[in-house]
A and B are shown apart, each in its own frame.
Chain A
Amino acid sequence: MKRNKKIVTFFVCFIAIIVAGLGFWAICDKEDFLSTEYEDNYREDVIVYGGKEYQYNEHLSNYLFLGIDTREAIEGNKTSGEAGQADAIFVISYDRVQKTVKSISIPRDTMTMIHTFSPDGVDLGHTKNHINLQYAFGDGKTESCVLMKEAVENLLYQVPIQGYCAINMDGIPIIADLVGGVDLVVQDDSLAHVDGKFQKGSQVTLTKEDAELFLRYRDKSERHSAITRTNRQKVFLKAFAETAKERSKQDAELVVDMYESLQSYMVTNIGNDVLSKILQANYDSEQIFSDIPGKKVDGSEFDEYHVNEAELYELVLKMFYKEVQDDKS
């Protein structure tokens, strides 16, 4: 009996050692186990720039604002419909914690990857072209906005955009009127020959009629006049936002009114509560208007704007990411 037990115990020991040995042998023979080194503290969401770690700023909500022109014919491009094109393109980034906004303006001639379709809707894949054409490859409504949103997200290194708002340029004078005119200082002489009051440096109040001219006029014979126009649009937007902000303090219904009046000119998935918050937010003084870095190039037929990717990468990092604070101490 005693002997039997002894034998059993030794046998168990023997088996255990053999099994352990086999286990080690199996683990060590797996080359992957030995040669692939994973960093224990590596975090998927961290990116490194200049030796510093950055993480996406989760406090941000980003919205795409588009000014749509349906009057100007789409130059020389076969697109699926008469959706119009996106002439003013802005991404507005709202910090839900700091309650601040900042924006990036994207020149309409920015050359980037856009998703193209044949006139009967066959997917032709992605190709490099003017970003404003992307809108025209959709239906002029939600589809166009989603296409624009995707093209802009891609341009901005996949920064997520939560909402879009496309406003037909015809609607702008209406909201300018609604806030009782927009006061601004003229930044350049691009309109001086059209109307004498738009001299550089002069103070003007844009009414319904003036706003239209101010926002849409472009001398096509002059190269890169779209950039000059974008600059005017930025001045207008900032002045408009300031006026609307002031007015909405007195008139709580203003945003709702604006939303209502623009209904037939606008395609959006942003609620008026969010629009109201964006309007009420403070400006991030340093970054209120950033531009996509790049240079104007004369294309064979049309003006082109070529992005400086290295600088854009830095801008995206600065606007949408924050440095990781080392909390390991």
Chain B
Amino acid sequence: MKKKIIVIFGIILIVAGGIWGYFGLFHYLAEKNAGNIYEDMKDKFGVKPLLQIPTMGEGEPEVPIDFASLTAQYPDIYAWIRVPGTRIDYPIVRREGDNDYYVTHTVDGRKRIEGAIFTDDYNSKDFGDPNTVIYGHNMKNGSMFKALHKYKDRQFFDEHPEVFIYQEGRVLRYKVFAAYTYDDRHIMMSFDFENEIIFQSYLNSVLTNKDMRSNIDTTTSVTTEDKIITLCTCSNTNEKERYLVQAVLLSIQE
């Protein structure tokens, strides 16, 4: 009888261990391969890598992405973001009516932990809003928006101020002016940026943020006339916090 009980417990342990192991392996592989789909996409669609920081000028902009064939296959892709000096080189998507979709799905609609780089439908697709918030996961393997955390280093912050957003026939050039940890409130739902007074007081609160962990470039002038983007990812320490990198639009070439 005793023997039987031992055997039964043994079976329970093995089954439980097997389930743990399976999920562990699944989780490990999901982490390890996070973001690979975007690398494959870059190869498949011939996205030209960034060799040097483009100079903005007159005339036809050089767009290294074939949006026509990309959007034919993935209709939610409407822009592409590049942050020189980091691995950030991804399509930006937006799903009308389901802002949570790309938290858990890659651009090809598969359920994956890395999700996609996306914006909410509270923002327009032309980056003409006072503040456009772009989200991306903080993946352990360094993919997606993990690299934003590099901006915690003031030297990196000072030396890598460029952000580029590409769209069909246009290039938007941004300059990073703030990088800091913030709470997890939904930014677009918390501030009415269309209201100039609110936008101004929001900018003031960002620009006067002063401590050794918040990097703010006070030499860049940012006013309510400007358009900014907020790159948002998870904090490394606290699930109630987000790490934000904010950049101001300098020029559009189209």
Chain A residues with a Cβ under 8 A of chain B? 5-6, 9-10, 13, 16-17, 20-21, 24, 28, 31-32, 34-39, 42, 44, 47-51, 113, 126, 154-155, 157-158, 309-310, 313-314, 316-317, 321
Q: Are the CB atoms of A17 and B137 closer together than 8 Å?
A: no
Instruction: Write the chain B residue with the least CB distance to A157.
Output: B212
Q: How far, in Å, is B94 (CB) from chain A's closest CB?
A: 19
Task: Give 15 CB contacts A-B under 8 Å.
Answer: A20-B19, A34-B113, A35-B137, A35-B234, A37-B138, A37-B139, A37-B140, A37-B146, A49-B155, A155-B210, A157-B211, A158-B211, A158-B212, A309-B219, A313-B212
B153 proximity list for chain A (CB < 8 A): 48-51
Q: Are the CB atoms of B237 and A44 closer together than 8 Å?
A: yes
Q: Are the CB atoms of A31 and B104 closer together than 8 Å?
A: yes
**Interface window among B4-12, B44-52, B245-253:** B4-12
B139 proximity list for chain A (CB < 8 A): 35, 37
Q: Quick one: which of A9, A34, A35, A37 contacts B5, CB cutoff 8 A?
A: A9
Q: Known contacts A13-B12, A21-B19: does B210 contact A32 (CB below 8 Å)?
A: no
A323 vs B193: C-alpha distance in the bound complex, in angstroms? 41
B27, CB-defined interface residue at 8 Å: yes
Q: Are the CB atoms of B19 and A42 closer together than 8 Å?
A: no
Q: Residue-by-residue, is B10-38 near A (CB-CB < 8 Å gives 1, otherwise 0)?
A: 01100110011001000100100000000
Q: Are the CB atoms of A34 and B30 closer together than 8 Å?
A: yes
Q: How far, in Å, is A91 (CB) from chain B's closest CB?
A: 16
B158, CB-defined interface residue at 8 Å: yes
Q: Are the CB atoms of A36 and B155 closer together than 8 Å?
A: no
- Enumerate the 4 nearest inter-chain pairs by beta-carbon distance, A residue then B residue, closest first: A37-B140, A50-B155, A158-B211, A48-B153
Q: Known contacts A31-B103, A36-B138: does B212 contact A9 (CB below 8 Å)?
A: no
Q: Are the CB atoms of B208 and A113 closer together than 8 Å?
A: yes
Interface centre among B113, B114, B210, B239 (most CB of A within 10 A): B210
Q: Quick one: which of A10, A20, A31, A39 contacts B16, CB cutoff 8 A?
A: A20
Q: Are the CB atoms of A126 and B208 closer together than 8 Å?
A: yes
A21 vs B16: C-alpha distance in the bound complex, in angstroms? 8
B115, CB-defined interface residue at 8 Å: yes
B158 proximity list for chain A (CB < 8 A): 310
A24 proximity list for chain B (CB < 8 A): 19-20, 23
Q: Known contacts A38-B236, A39-B236, A39-B237: does B138 contact A157 (CB below 8 Å)?
A: no
Q: Are the CB atoms of B11 and A47 closer together than 8 Å?
A: no
B218, CB-defined interface residue at 8 Å: yes
Q: How far, in Å, is A161 (CB) from chain B's closest CB?
A: 14
Instruction: Write the chain B residue with the least CB distance to A309.
Output: B218
B15 proximity list for chain A (CB < 8 A): 17, 20
Q: Are the CB atoms of B27 and A34 closer together than 8 Å?
A: yes
Q: Are the CB atoms of B212 and A47 closer together than 8 Å?
A: yes
B19 proximity list for chain A (CB < 8 A): 20-21, 24
Q: Are the CB atoms of A157 and B152 closer together than 8 Å?
A: no
Q: How far, in Å, is B157 (CB) from chain A's closest CB?
A: 9
B146 proximity list for chain A (CB < 8 A): 37
B87, CB-defined interface residue at 8 Å: no
Q: Are the CB atoms of B211 and A42 closer together than 8 Å?
A: no
Q: How far, in Å, is A318 (CB) from chain B's closest CB?
A: 12
Interface centre among A6, A37, A47, A48 (most CB of B within 10 A): A37
B30 proximity list for chain A (CB < 8 A): 34
Q: Are the CB atoms of A36 and B234 closer together than 8 Å?
A: yes
Instruction: Write the chain A residue with the least CB distance to B155.
Output: A50
